[in-house]
Structure 1
Amino acid sequence: MEVTGHAQRTAWRERTLPPVEQVRPGLWSVPVPMGGPLRWVNAYVLELAGGGLGLVDTGWDADESWAALCAGLTSLGGDVTDVRGVLVTHLHLDHVGLAARVREASGAWVAMHPADADGIATFTDRTPEQLWAEEVAFLVGLGAPPEDARADAGTPEQRAGLLRVARPDRLLEDGDRADLPGWSLRAVHTPGHTAGHLCFADEATGLFFAGDHVLPRISPNISTHAGGAADPLRDYLGALAAVGGRQAGEVLPGHEWRFRGLAERTRELREHHERRLAELLAAVRANPGCTPWDLAAHLTWSRPWAQYERRMRIFAVTETDAHLRLLASRGLVVGDGGTVPAWTAAPVR
């Protein structure tokens, strides 16, 4: 795998924000800051034939992020009012968060996959209190003590921002061509990170806008959630295999840095998950009758398990649950059928 976003990787190492970069004639990468360990989102700006700009992802809905996006557009000679269309790779707030502000400022259309459009409709139709209660109930259903579930889920007020998320004006299915004149971007449905995650492949240049499906350094979080896909890791691994067979000149991810070597990176990610599945199966065998909440504590993480709490612990437990579901679909583990599943290894045949 070859790093092509050298300034981005340098900024990552130095814990700074990378510069706005021209990736190709008429194409720029604008870093939009966000909180948390990922630090920024790569918003991609495309110059359109006949005038105007297109965006692939927008960034987190915060004043600092909005200022950075607007300043980035100004630095390349444009303005947010020039935006004609926004392609959303997936419904997570660091990617879709500013789409509503962009649309309000410019009149641009917003497009995403129907599955993620349904996801947005689901949480914008609920109150913050309902969303909070659903997450608490889901965590308890994975084995969390109720008090831990309530603490990790935060507060209903922290979900108020979800109600501002833009519902799409247009829907894009797998293989659909995006309406960005001068570009030949086709949607590639890559479920797993979310049910409607989209990548965009440009047929003319070989560029592959990967969103969070393929990142150069980390494995995207693949988790279960209330009302979500039954086996999201199976979906993800299947989408990785399909994407790995594509010819891509350069990968433009939603985080971290640009790179070449899509086939190699997808192979690495598949191998990572197979190792993780093997580790989890060993943990189930050593600790039969455990819930997903309990089993997460027996796995290797980036820091000691005792330091995990709040959103980090939720991600870890729901990722463990996704891996358990794939092991179950492979016939390697068996749940007890209870309201809170307790898992044991399937008998060896």
Structure 2
Amino acid sequence: MTPRVIDHKGGVWSIAVPIPDNPLGHTLVHLLETDRGPVLVDTGWDDPDSWDTLTAGVTACGFALADIHGVLITHHHPDHHGLSAKVRGTSGAWVAMHAADSAVVRRTREARPGQWLDYLLAKLTAAGAPDDHLAPLREARAAGRGRRLPGRRAALPDRAIAPGELLDLPGRRLRAIWTPGHTPGHVCLHLEEEHPARTPGSGRLFSGDHLLPGITPHIGLYEDPDDTTPTDPLGDYLDSLERIARLAPAEVLPAHQYAFTDADTRAEQLIAHHEERLSDLRALLREPRTPWQLATAMQWNRPWDQIPYASRNIAVSEAEAHLRRLVKLGHAELLPGNAPQRYQAV
């Protein structure tokens, strides 16, 4: 196996770790050399091929898995956090994550059997999903399926990443920037060192999924079956994008696709995309719609009838995140009654 490894110079490498059966293809796991040993930014999906690729990639960077000193997780999703327990078990490395995402990991581990399916059924029913979409979930619940969620084997982090913290990495200046939106505890990591090629700008940024060169990251509701506190993930994301734009790093090292420059321009493009989408949805809400009806009317990267079953659930969550933002801005309201929920523009 010959892993795809890029030397970004200055003691930074990226390793393309495959994600099985996923159009994204791979997660870019970054390796950062420090005076105490190498540190990984993310780990990749928990899969045998992914593990073999990560191991070979670390070797190609001139280290062994046993040398890994620590693991910094940008967010809890399984294509980033999945192999963290195996890395820690092999190397004894610490694993760090923002407290908000650590809480998600802990909640996933402690969830009772079927809790997620119960929540998903209730959520989609309230959103107006049709019976033919709900039927497979009801059958899975009745059959006792859905007991195992992705990521249960990932490590429970043993360190917290605090916003604004200059991380304890001797020989490096790496600062944590809290960038909620994609997840409640997503962090970017700012390498406050001159770019090796002296590219103008403020160091380099490990951006996770927050800022990607050609993809708009999913912004859905923060899912917590036990917490009914209203949240505004899209508002969080837009605020986070503005902070990164002001930072103006010389280069962005994202977790997918490829490294790029002009972070401020990309952030502005993403802000404009969501503002346009909010405007389009407000127009759609001139007549009352359920979140499901809104999702089916929104523009996606393919027609609704070609969107896979599970991806429709994600699309509805994204529609609901935009609805939350419109309600918070006073541009839409939830109409009386809850069977199912219906929204209208104000």
How far apart, in 2, do the equivalents of 1:338 and 1:200 lie? 44
Which letter maps to 1:181? Answer: P
Q: Does 1:204 align with 2:201?
A: no
Structure-2 residue corresponding to 1:173:
162
Deviation at 1:24, TM superposition (A): 1.3
Classify the secondary structure of the residue corresponding to 2:23: coil
Structure-1 residue corresponding to 2:281:
280
Structure-1 residue corresponding to 2:32:
46
Q: Does 1:30 align with 2:15?
A: yes
Paired-residue identity, %: 41
Structure-1 residue corresponding to 2:41:
56
Classify the secondary structure of the residue corresponding to 2:273: helix
Which letter maps to 2:185? Answer: G
Q: Does 1:87 align with 2:87?
A: no
Structure 1 stretch 227-236 or stretch 265-274: which is displaced more? 227-236
Residue correspondence of structure 1 range 126-141 to structure 2 within 5 A: 126-141=111-126
Relative distance call for 1:309 and 1:111 in structure 2 (3 A) is: same
Alignment RMSD, CA only? Answer: 1.9
Which letter maps to 1:38? Answer: L
CA contact (8 A) 1:190 1:197 kept: yes
How far apart, in 2, do the equivalents of 1:150 and 1:56 lie? 40
* 2:171 aligned to which of 171, 182, 189: 182
Deviation at 1:311, TM superposition (A): 2.0
How far apart, in 1, do the equivalents of 2:321 and 2:150 lie? 26
How far apart, in 1, do the equivalents of 2:139 and 2:190 lie? 38
CA contact (8 A) 1:135 1:226 kept: no
Classify the secondary structure of the residue corresponding to 1:277: helix
How far apart, in 2, do the equivalents of 1:31 and 1:315 lie? 25
Classify the secondary structure of the residue corresponding to 1:177: coil
CA contact (8 A) 1:46 1:55 kept: yes
How far apart, in 1, do the equivalents of 2:168 and 2:119 lie? 37
How far apart, in 1, do the equivalents of 2:3 and 2:85 lie? 25
Deviation at 1:343, TM superposition (A): 0.7
- Aligned pair count? 327
Could you list the per-position Cα deviations for residues 223-242 of structure 1 after superposition, in whole angstroms to 9, with x for gaps in the alignment?
01432761100110011111
How far apart, in 1, do the equivalents of 2:170 and 2:96 lie? 15
Classify the secondary structure of the residue corresponding to 2:285: helix
CA contact (8 A) 2:3 2:56 kept: no
Gaps of 5+ in 2: 195-202
Residue correspondence of structure 1 range 1-349 to structure 2 within 5 A: 19-35=4-20, 36-50=22-36, 52-149=37-134, 151=136, 156-157=145-146, 159-205=148-194, 206-227=203-224, 230-285=231-286, 288-339=287-338, 340-346=340-346
Classify the secondary structure of the residue corresponding to 2:216: coil
How far apart, in 1, do the equivalents of 2:312 and 2:29 lie? 28
How far apart, in 2, do the equivalents of 1:161 and 1:244 lie? 33
Deviation at 1:145, TM superposition (A): 2.9
CA contact (8 A) 2:183 2:222 kept: no
Deviation at 1:146, TM superposition (A): 4.9
Could you list the per-position Cα deviations for residues 106-125 of structure 1 after superposition, in whole angstroms to 9, with x for gaps in the alignment?
11000010100111111111
Which letter maps to 2:341? Answer: P
CA contact (8 A) 1:174 1:187 kept: yes
User: TM-score, normalised on structure 1?
Assistant: 0.89
Structure 1 stretch 275-284 or stretch 160-169: which is displaced more? 160-169
Deviation at 1:151, TM superposition (A): 3.1
Classify the secondary structure of the residue corresponding to 1:159: coil
Relative distance call for 1:158 and 1:211 in structure 2 (3 A) is: farther
CA contact (8 A) 1:296 1:320 kept: yes
